[in-house]
Structure 1
Amino acid sequence: MGLTSRTLLYTMVVVAVVCVGLTVWQWPRFARRGPRAVCGRLGMLVATQLAIVAALGLAVNTNFQFYASWKELLGLYDDAPAAAGKWGDAGLAGPAGDPSKGLVQASGPDGLDKVHGLPAGPPQTAGKVETVRIVGKRTRVVNPAYVYLPPQYFQPQYARQRFPVVVALSGYPGGTFLLGQHLRLPQTAAGLIRDGKMQPTVIVMLRPTIAPPRDTQCVDVPGGPQAETFFARDVPDALKSHYRVGRDPGGWGVLGYSSGGSCALQLAMRHPRTYPSAVALSPDYKVANDATTGNLFGDGKDRIRRRQEHDLMWRLRELPAPQVNVLVGTSRSGEKNYPAAQAFLGAVKAPMRADSIVLDHGSHNFATWRRELPAALQWMGKSLTFPEDVVGTS
């Protein structure tokens, strides 16, 4: 049974209920003194607690899709989707991740079939959300993605038109499922586009790590995963090769929440010619090593410089400001990053521009980010230039 299957979850719930029932039923039998009775009581308690914890853990993971498979949970990635595996010989079909098969490849549901409220109906009136794998031309990395295509993408009058694009990044350790089910990104964008509050935009939803369960933080790790190159260079190249999206950077933006928001700011400030607009909801403003990231900056003599260059406050103090527009979301109460957000906004200088969404109260969760999302998408829509070029032009 798959890690996220309902069958496994229901089975574990039944096991937990049975363990509780057996403990209540058998407890008088082990109420006596002696090593055997003590061991019996301990065994029942341990078995019951393990069953309950396992059932709760499966319920949370099934709902939030933190880990999509047993391999992800255990960190086993011989041929995992996060990296190119073994290649085919003599032109035979290789595994997912072979760039010769296309930089955007069709995939299975990847949890999309469990997302509620997606646009329904003919694509030319409702739009469409599809699941793909994005293949890195340089990094040979593969990352699953949901792609929202607005209704106009399928309408005859727009047949040669290119569209602005937003690359949306989830937090860690979540994935694309969370962007659809809990942030409700495609549903919200579809409503705004339908009501004329946002221009038709292609939205590409990705997880920020390229080597799960490691949190790669959109950093090119020396001798390790090249996450920054993947998001800053491979993803735009792949999308341009497959979808009718703008070639000019003015039509590109990046959006994220939590660690995905941190990545969004990093990508915009470090690659302003790729992502000149960024929305960051509850981000951090520097990248640091921790138990989930491992050593992101290497052990060489350049490690201090690398760490500094991923500290956005250091960049604002020591480097020329990039020509980008950013929107930061935070809360005065309930968000521990409010002082850092205020410091960041206060340090922004021309030609960089910054706006903010500041709630009176909001915790680090989806309820807060859903409140901020409509305003964030409308801000992004106004920041992006609708491409003037059409299919057939360079």
Structure 2
Amino acid sequence: MNMVLDGNLVHGAIPVAVTVAGLAAGALLLFRRDRRWWSRTMPIVTAACAVTTFLLWLVVDILWKPFPDPVPRSVFAWIGVALFGIGLAIAWQWRSRWPRRGVGVLAGIMVVLAAGANINAHYGHFPSLRAAFELPPANEVPFTSLNLVTGTPIPRSPGRALLDGWQPPSTMPKNGVVTQVSIPPATSHFPVTRSAYLYLPPAYRTSPRPLLPVLVLLHGQPGGPRDWINGGRIATMMDRFAAAHKGLAPVVVMPDSTGSAFGNPLCLDSRLGHSETYLTGDVPGWIKRTLQIDPDNRTWAVAGYSYGGTCALQLALRKPDVFPTFVDISGQDEPTLGSRARTVDEAFGGDEKAFRQVNPIDLLATRGYPGSAGVISVGRSDSVFLPQQKHVFEATRRNGIKVTWRETVGSHNWQAWSAGLSDSLAWLAGRMGLIKQ
């Protein structure tokens, strides 16, 4: 059963087989020995699907703009294919007997599945059936079963990397674990609706344990805390790092940073909610009270992709004492609801000055960050966000922040996002005091 649930839905035989089956089903739906089918039904279905797809693009990317980043044209193309399959399947129901109607329905479903498989292959959001059905990861354990605090932890030697003075006990588990827990918005009252996910590395599961640094990972919009578990495969990434470093890796906390799948609070305190206070106050406070970790924020870092990348940069610039280290993956050059005017109006009641006081580019032009450092990463095929990331990179360089530029494979998808963090992990570990810089 695990082999079925964990089969790769992004690469390999499964998405290819589904695509081939969908194309065959579409060809079956197209074939009818009926002149009226070709002269009337087909043109109507084709025109209706084309118009619907165009209107969907117009509403989502031009008028409504519910997401901070545009939906790729290839995704709309596959949506059009799905609509076409549905339209043909519906047309098959007319003047057909029941066996033929059933074939039409099944063929339409296969076309929709093929379109969905290719959209998922573009983003890499659901790597397996387990992820698609929101089933618990194979390495997830109940939060209540964890021994979060043991005896006196092993102290860090001043001036030395944690790895240099660490000898793992023979009883240390080979892999880390994933768990989920609610982090309450005690101060911010930000409307959190979903549990946070945690990754605890092998070294955390020892007694006594070393005081490990903390990495806060932020998701995109639309999205949620589990996205780093699914698309980012964060546990596999961190387990691989831990295996090469005597079980040491950061404790990773993935909070609900938007309040809902489609929420966009701009990662700041405004009329849209106090998400900044939640992420820089409530979340760090809960971590220090609940987990046995290094409480020194100089060893902490924040990272994210897309909306979460923009958010990581914002938090690092607004609260450098909390997050002196950041990784901005495929972020924007400013927080947005689709346009500067709409953002200022809805979040700040039209007060442009209030917006500039929290906007990263403006902060970089007016404030110094002597202790901060970061990575700006983007997929080299990301035509929308690559120029924005270059804008951010140049602004950080002018400011004097120690910043590294990375271009990875991929576009605005998990191929680029996962690579952005993975390629930065050794640098992060050095900044966090895990290994020598």
TM range (shorter): 0.5 to 0.7
Asked whether 1:339 is paired with 2:390, we answer: yes
Question: Which residue is 1:195 aligned to?
Answer: 244
Change (3 A) 1:30 1:210: same
Alignment of 1:176 onto 2:225:
yes
Which one-letter code corresponds to 1:336 in the other structure? P
Q: Is the 8 A contact 1:198 1:378 kept in 2?
A: no
- Is 1:113 matched up with 2:162? no
SS of the residue 2:333 aligns to: coil
Distance in structure 2 (CA, Å) of the matches to 1:208 and 1:275: 15
Partner of 1:389: none
1:147 to 170, 173, 198: 198
Q: 1:28 aligns with which of 27, 34, 40?
A: 34
* Counterpart residue type for residue 221 of structure 1: S
Say if 1:27 and 1:245 are closer, same or farther in 2 by CA, change over 3 A: farther
Aligned counterparts of 1:300 and 1:283: Cα–Cα separation in 2: 22
Deviations 1:268-298 (A, max 9, x none): 110112212111122223212318x974664
Deviations 1:243-262 (A, max 9, x none): 21232222321011222111
Matched, 1:64 2:125: yes
Q: Cα gap change, 1:113/1:20 in structure 2, threshold over 3 Å: closer, same or farther? A: farther
Partner AA of 2:426 in structure 1: Q
What residue is the counterpart of 1:384 in the other structure?
432
TM-score by length of 1: 0.67
Aligned equivalents of 2:315 and 2:242: distance in 1? 26
Shift of 1:186: 2.3
Cα deviation, 1:127-186, whole Å, max 9, x if unaligned, reads 21112332221315233332110111111231xx43211001122223334323333322
C-alpha contact 1:186 1:203 (8 A) present in aligned 2 = no
- Counterpart of 1:113 in structure 2: which amino acid? P
Q: Tell me which amino acid in the other structure corresponds to 2:238.
A: A
Paired position in structure 2 for 1:348: 399
Counterparts in 2 of 1:16 and 1:356: CA distance versus 1, 3 Å: same
- In the other structure, the counterpart of 1:76 is none
| Partners of 2:309 and 2:328 within 8 A in 1 | yes
Question: Structure 2: how far apart are the matches of 1:170 and 1:127?
Answer: 21
Tell me the residue number matched to 2:57: none
Alpha-carbon RMSD? 4.2
Contact kept? 2:327, 2:421, Cα under 8 Å: no
Residues of 1 paired with 2:419 and 2:38: CA distance? 57
In structure 2, how many angstroms separate the alpha carbons of the residues matched to 1:380 and 1:212? 28
Whether the 8 Å CA contact 1:217–1:263 is kept in 2: the answer is yes
Cα distance in 2, alignment partners of residues 281 and 197 from structure 1:
28
Distance 1:294 1:301, change over 3 A: closer
Distance 1:248 1:221, change over 3 A: same
User: What is the aligned counterpart of 1:372 among 413, 420, 431?
Assistant: 420
Residue correspondence of structure 1 range 48-63 to structure 2 within 5 A: 48-50=84-86, 51=108, 54-56=112-114, 58-59=116-117, 60=119
Letter in 2 for 1:214: G
Aligned counterpart, 2:294: 246
Q: Is the partner of 2:336 in helix, strand or coil?
A: coil
Is structure 2 residue 313 aligned with structure 1 residue 265? yes
Q: Distance in 2 between matches of 1:366 and 1:360?
A: 11
The amino acid across from 2:113 in the alignment is A
Separation of aligned partners in 2, 1:277 and 1:225: 25
SS at match of 1:30: helix
Task: Give ranges in structure 2 of 5+ residues lacking alignment.
Answer: 1-6, 8-14, 50-82, 87-107, 128-132, 141-170
State yes or no: 1:319 paired with 2:378: no
More helix by share: 2
How many angstroms apart in 2 are the aligned matches of 1:266 and 1:154? 32
Task: Select the residue among 199, 208, 219 that pairs with 2:268.
Answer: 219
Distance (whole Å) between structure 1 residues aligned to residue 278 and residue 315 of structure 2: 11
Partners of 1:180 and 1:269 lie apart in 2 by 26
* Aligned mates of 2:378, 2:352 — CA distance in 1: 29
Query: Percent of counterpart pairs with the same letter?
Result: 22
CA 1:304–1:372: 2 relative to 1, 3 Å? same
Please say if 1:305 is aligned against 2:353: yes
What aligned pairs does 1:26-105 form with structure 2 within 5 A after superposition?
Answer: 26=32, 28=34, 30-31=36-37, 38=40, 42=44, 48-50=84-86, 51=108, 54-56=112-114, 58-59=116-117, 60=119, 64=125
Aligned to 2:151: none
Q: Distance in 2 between matches of 1:127 and 1:301?
A: 46
Read off the aligned partner of 2:44 and give its amino acid letter: L
Matched to 1:327, the amino acid is V
Work out which of the residue numbers 91, 113, 128 in structure 1 matches 2:177. 128
